[in-house]
């Protein structure tokens, strides 16, 4: 695990929270509300400076931040002279804008990060037939599920570096190189790595003329797959590990770290595709993964299930520790931060107090009720929701969130999700 990745994650999330609060702060100021504090962190104040009517500062515990807008509810005391600048006295639309500004900032951060990552780093090519470094040796068979001797039987290499119990890699002998993109095999066009795998497996003992794109030029290589035993393919990315079948192999694998660079015009639809993937993952987490919280301490913890900030930080550290090009590392890191911003933005809009979504629900309830009353002839002041009656529910939600946070935090420490799990 890489400390740089953990530190980068912590800084990125702290900046995201600061920008979230800045969204509330700037929109509140725009509508004439009074914001008396803008702080990073919680707890004792380390440093602060008052500029105008707002105190800006840093507190000791860097786990978030806050903006103090006076009169968020009628329960809060207000200094004399500030009665007309309180939040709750503003009309429905200004209050809605201020409340939704935080989540809007998270959505913008997500979109901007994806666009900049795609434009400057490129996009992954999960199905492209781009090759990694050719293997020195090719296993003649594979371990079957439940084979207790698998590690020694199928992975041995002798001390002299020879292929003990294995065959020499045919791809290496044929001069394949890292980054080669397969164009065709025996004249048949190859568009995906799955196609290449299928052709190689079906041609044990037969010479293959493989055309690869290398440094912008087509190069023809000849290779003969050797007979081996492998798991049968049951799908594009799945195999049946309970049996082995005879196939051909040459000792080559796909390089998933090669990125395709795109221009600013193509970056727009690519951003949409990446955003769609992240939105789909977020929706799955919210709608189907919440049930996995009960099993996060078990041996079969869902690797795509819920994680807290500690777990996400650990994953970021592992991303930085992977032996892959830095551009690929940075791309994955930016996608992690983008995904978390999208999740936080959506979660914050849930109609539950004390989340912004809970306050938005109150604002709209007051607005709808006021319109109905005025349509019936009411001419007095807006009747505000009695927050005292909502306090028990608010405390229950806070207790639930705290419990879930501590529960996930514990699992992230003692039973963490790891990359490749």
Three-class SS of 138-175: EECCCCCCCCCCHHHHHCCCCCCCCCCCEEECHHHHCC
Scanning the structure block, which residue is given the tokens 């806050």?
66
Q: Are 405 and 311 in contact (CB under 8 A)?
A: no
Domain housing 288: 99-124+261-421
Both 330 and 239 in one domain: the answer is no
Least confident range from 16-25, 77-86, 332-341: namely: 77-86
Question: Residue 235: its pLDDT value, please?
Answer: 67
Q: Which of 240, 255, 270 is the last residue of a domain?
A: 255
Question: Residue 153: its pLDDT value, please?
Answer: 39
How does pLDDT run across 310-363, given as a tens digit for each residue?
888 988 998 888 888 899 999 999 999 999 999 999 999 999 999 999 999 999
How does pLDDT run across 23-47, given as a tens digit for each residue?
999 999 999 999 999 999 989 999 9
pLDDT of 287 above 90: no
- Other Cβ atoms closer than 10 A to 362: 20
Does the annotation count 21 as an active-site position?
A: yes
Residue 278's H or E segment, with its range, is helix 264-288
pLDDT of 77 above 70: yes
pTM comes to: 0.81
Reply yes or no: is the peptide bond before residue 139 cis, omega within 30 of 0. no
Nearest to 324 by CA among 2, 62, 70: 2
Q: Are 39 and 58 in contact (CB under 8 A)?
A: yes
Report the alpha-carbon distance of residue 154 to residue 112 in Å, rounded. 47
From the candidates 21, 79, 318, 366, give the one annotated as an active-site residue. 21
Both 321 and 199 in one domain: the answer is no
Nearest to 103 by CA among 26, 18, 20, 31: 20
Both 322 and 175 in one domain: the answer is no
pLDDT of 240 above 90: no
Q: How many domains does the chain have?
A: 2
Both 286 and 405 in one domain: the answer is yes
Residue 247's H or E segment, with its range, is strand 245-249
How many CA within 13 A on the CB side of residue 221? 24
Assign residue 172 the CATH number of its domain: 2.30.42.10
């Amino acid at each position: 695990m890489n400390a740089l990745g953990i530190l980068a994650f912590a800084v990125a999330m702290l900046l995201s929270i600061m920008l979230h609060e800045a969204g509330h702060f700037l929109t509140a100021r725009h509508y004439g509300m009074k914001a008396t504090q803008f702080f990073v962190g919680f707890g004792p104040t380390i440093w602060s400076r008052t500029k105008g009517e707002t105190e800006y500062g840093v507190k000791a515990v860097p786990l978030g931040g806050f903006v103090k807008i006076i009169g968020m509810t009628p329960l809060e005391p207000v200094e004399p002279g500030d009665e007309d600048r309180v939040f709750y006295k503003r009309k429905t639309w200004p209050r809605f804008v201020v409340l939704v500004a935080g989540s809007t900032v998270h959505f913008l951060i997500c979109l901007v990060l994806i666009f900049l990552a795609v434009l400057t780093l490129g996009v992954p090519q999960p199905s492209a037939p781009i090759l990694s470094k050719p293997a020195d040796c090719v296993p003649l068979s594979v371990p079957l599920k439940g084979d207790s001797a698998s590690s020694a039987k199928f992975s041995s290499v002798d001390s002299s570096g020879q292929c003990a119990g294995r065959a020499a890699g045919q791809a290496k002998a044929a001069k394949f190189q890292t980054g080669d993109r397969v164009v065709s095999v025996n004249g048949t066009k190859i568009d995906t790595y799955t196609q290449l795998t299928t052709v190689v497996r079906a041609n044990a003992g037969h010479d293959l003329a493989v055309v690869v794109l290398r440094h912008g030029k087509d190069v023809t290589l000849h290779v003969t797959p050797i007979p081996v035993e492998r798991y049968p393919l049951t799908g594009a990315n799945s195999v049946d590990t309970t049996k082995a079948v005879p196939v051909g192999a040459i000792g080559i694998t796909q390089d998933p770290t090669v990125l395709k660079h795109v221009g600013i015009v193509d970056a727009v639809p690519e951003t949409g595709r990446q955003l769609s993937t992240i939105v789909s993952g977020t929706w799955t987490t919210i709608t189907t993964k919440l049930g996995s919280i009960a099993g996060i301490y078990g041996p079969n913890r869902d690797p795509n299930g819920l994680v807290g900030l500690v777990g996400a930080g650990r994953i970021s550290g592992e991303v930085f520790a992977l032996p892959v090009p830095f551009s690929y590392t940075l791309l994955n890191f930016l996608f992690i931060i983008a995904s978390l911003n999208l999740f936080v933005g959506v979660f914050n809009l849930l109609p539950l107090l004390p989340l912004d979504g809970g306050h938005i629900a109150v604002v709209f309830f007051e607005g709808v009720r006021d319109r109905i009353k005025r349509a019936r002839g009411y001419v007095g002041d807006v009747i505000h929701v009695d927050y005292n009656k909502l306090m028990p529910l608010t405390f229950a939600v806070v207790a639930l969130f705290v419990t879930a946070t501590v529960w996930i935090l514990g699992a992230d420490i003692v039973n963490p999700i790891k990359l490749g799990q």
